[in-house]
């Protein structure tokens, strides 16, 4: 256990903490600016993982109509359903747990970052004493030892203090930015049950983090807000503002019409499973036509899917 603690300290905590202090020195001893720069740096360092994660999620989202169709088509044959689903994943180059990998890699960084901010934003002399043992003494250009105690004021805020009721705007901003990022990354599911879960999560997380923000130093809230906004910007470059609208979609209560497999236009899906923007008008047209055909021949569709 001691070895784990030592490794955690030496590999995650100390490098991150010293980077933050170096940024503090570079940013004219302004802790608020240092936290913003540090957040941007961490997001930049984890950008390849974030991009991979977002692309996997996008690919999974694009496969949703086909998966739904597969589930309906092989509703009574679980083995076949699973087999066909795996085949679809393979053909589309999608790893169903692929989006979890980058997330798992990022978790230690996030936990570490949380600890680093707590340790840097000290309120009592004892906390400052803890900090001294974690600073590198060998950084020649940036005297990190002389930088402490760090100036913790930013735009009139004490970054080490918890937000007062008067500063409720900070937790509100944490909640709002979390909602925005979640809204951008969550694409509405076609399954009403999933849709309901997604809807709940979309509100639960921001409210929870907003409440947490009252319990933690303002500096940590600034990290959350900046990190969320950068996340929104990254998402914008991948999907545009599309997923954000409509802001408050109506919940789908009736199951959607399902097409038989052979009626799905082959040009809808690219080899890698992504739908390019150029194909979107065709896809919409094709869906409309498919739905029309399904209405005209309801019995045939039902007959096949209930076999």
Partner 1 sequence: MTATDEMVYVANRQGKLQALADEGINGVRVKFTFPPEASEERVPGVHNAPVLGKKLLYVSSYDGYLYALDRTTLQMGETGWRRPTGEVDKPLVAGPALDAEQKVVAVGSEDGSLYAYNAQSGELLWPPFVTGDKIWSTPLIANGVIYFGSHDNNVYAVAVSDGRKLWSFPTGGAVVARPMLIQDTLVVGSFDRHLYGINAKDGSRRWEFQSENWFYAGAVSDGKVIFAPSMDGNLYALDAGGRQLWAHDMESPLVATPALVARGLVVASRAGKVSLLNTSPADLGTARVLSSLTFPGTKFTAPLAVAGDSVYLGAQDNTVRRIQVRDSLNKIWCMRTQAKDDSTQC
**Smallest distance from the beta carbon of 34 to partner 1, in angstroms?**
17
Residue ranges in 202-261 that form contacts with partner 1 under rule CB under 8 A: none
**Smallest distance from the beta carbon of 128 to partner 1, in angstroms?**
8
- CA–CA distance, 237 with 215 (Å, rounded to integer): 33
Q: Is 165 in the site for partner 1 (CB under 8 A)?
A: no
- Please identify, using beta-carbon distances, which residue of 160 and 294 lies nearer to partner 1: 160
- Please identify, using beta-carbon distances, which residue of 74 and 122 lies nearer to partner 1: 122
Number of residues that bind partner 1 (CB under 8 A): 14
**Smallest distance from the beta carbon of 21 to partner 1, in angstroms?**
12
User: 163, 280, 165: which is closest to 213 by C-alpha?
Assistant: 163
Q: Is 42 exposed, middle or buried (0-12, 13-18, 19+ CB in 10 A)?
A: buried
Residue ranges in 138-157 that form contacts with partner 1 under rule CB under 8 A: 143, 145-149, 151
Q: What is the largest CA-CA distance in the chain?
A: 79
- Please identify, using beta-carbon distances, which residue of 51 and 148 lies nearer to partner 1: 148
**Smallest distance from the beta carbon of 220 to partner 1, in angstroms?**
22
Per the structure block, which two tokens stand in for 279? 């194909």
User: 40, 41, 28: which is closest to 226 by C-alpha?
Assistant: 40
- Please identify, using beta-carbon distances, which residue of 117 and 144 lies nearer to partner 1: 144
- CA–CA distance, 3 with 133 (Å, rounded to integer): 17
- Please identify, using beta-carbon distances, which residue of 88 and 148 lies nearer to partner 1: 148
**Smallest distance from the beta carbon of 154 to partner 1, in angstroms?**
16
> What beta strand segments (E) does the chain contain?
153-154, 157-158
Per the structure block, which two tokens stand in for 191? 């399954």
Residue ranges in 102-141 that form contacts with partner 1 under rule CB under 8 A: 124-126, 129, 132-133, 137
- Please identify, using beta-carbon distances, which residue of 124 and 193 lies nearer to partner 1: 124
Per the structure block, which two tokens stand in for 283? 């896809």
- CA–CA distance, 112 with 115 (Å, rounded to integer): 5
Q: 70 to each of 63, 178, 192, 261, how far by Cα in Å?
A: 11, 34, 17, 8
Sign of the torsion formed by the C-alpha atoms of 192, 196, 197 and 202: positive
**Smallest distance from the beta carbon of 185 to partner 1, in angstroms?**
42
- CA–CA distance, 265 with 302 (Å, rounded to integer): 20
**Smallest distance from the beta carbon of 96 to partner 1, in angstroms?**
48
- Please identify, using beta-carbon distances, which residue of 166 and 278 lies nearer to partner 1: 166
Which residues sit at the interface with partner 1, rule CB under 8 A?
A: 124-126, 129, 132-133, 137, 143, 145-149, 151
């Amino acid at each position: 256990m001691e070895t784990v603690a030592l490794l955690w300290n030496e590999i995650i905590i100390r490098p991150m903490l010293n980077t933050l202090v170096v940024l503090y020195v570079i940013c004219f001893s302004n802790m608020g600016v240092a936290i913003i720069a540090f957040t941007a740096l961490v997001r930049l360092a984890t950008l390849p993982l974030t991009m991979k994660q977002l692309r996997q999620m996008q690919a999974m989202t694009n496969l949703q109509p086909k998966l739904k169709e597969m589930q309906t088509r092989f509703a009574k044959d679980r083995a076949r359903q699973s087999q066909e689903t795996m085949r679809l994943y393979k053909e589309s180059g999608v790893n169903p747990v692929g989006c979890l990998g980058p997330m798992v890699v990022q978790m230690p960084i996030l936990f570490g970052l949380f600890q680093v901010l707590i340790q840097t934003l000290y309120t009592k002399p004892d906390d400052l004493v803890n900090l001294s043992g974690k600073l590198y003494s060998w950084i020649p250009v940036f005297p990190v030892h002389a930088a402490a105690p760090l100036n913790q004021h930013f735009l009139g805020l004490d970054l080490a203090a918890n937000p007062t009721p008067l500063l409720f705007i900070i937790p509100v901003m944490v909640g709002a930015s979390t909602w925005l990022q979640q809204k951008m990354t969550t694409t509405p599911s076609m399954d009403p049950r999933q849709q309901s879960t997604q809807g709940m999560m979309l509100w639960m997380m921001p409210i929870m983090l907003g409440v947490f923000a009252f319990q933690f130093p303002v500096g940590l809230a600034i990290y959350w807000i900046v990190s969320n906004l950068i996340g929104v910007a990254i998402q914008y470059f991948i999907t545009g503002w599309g997923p954000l609208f409509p802001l408050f979609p109506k919940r789908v209560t009736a199951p959607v019409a399902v097409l038989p497999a052979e009626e799905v236009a082959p040009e809808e899906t690219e080899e890698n499973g992504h739908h390019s923007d150029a194909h979107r008008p065709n896809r919409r047209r094709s869906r409309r036509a498919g739905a029309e055909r399904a209405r005209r021949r309801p019995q045939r569709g039902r007959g096949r899917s209930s076999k």
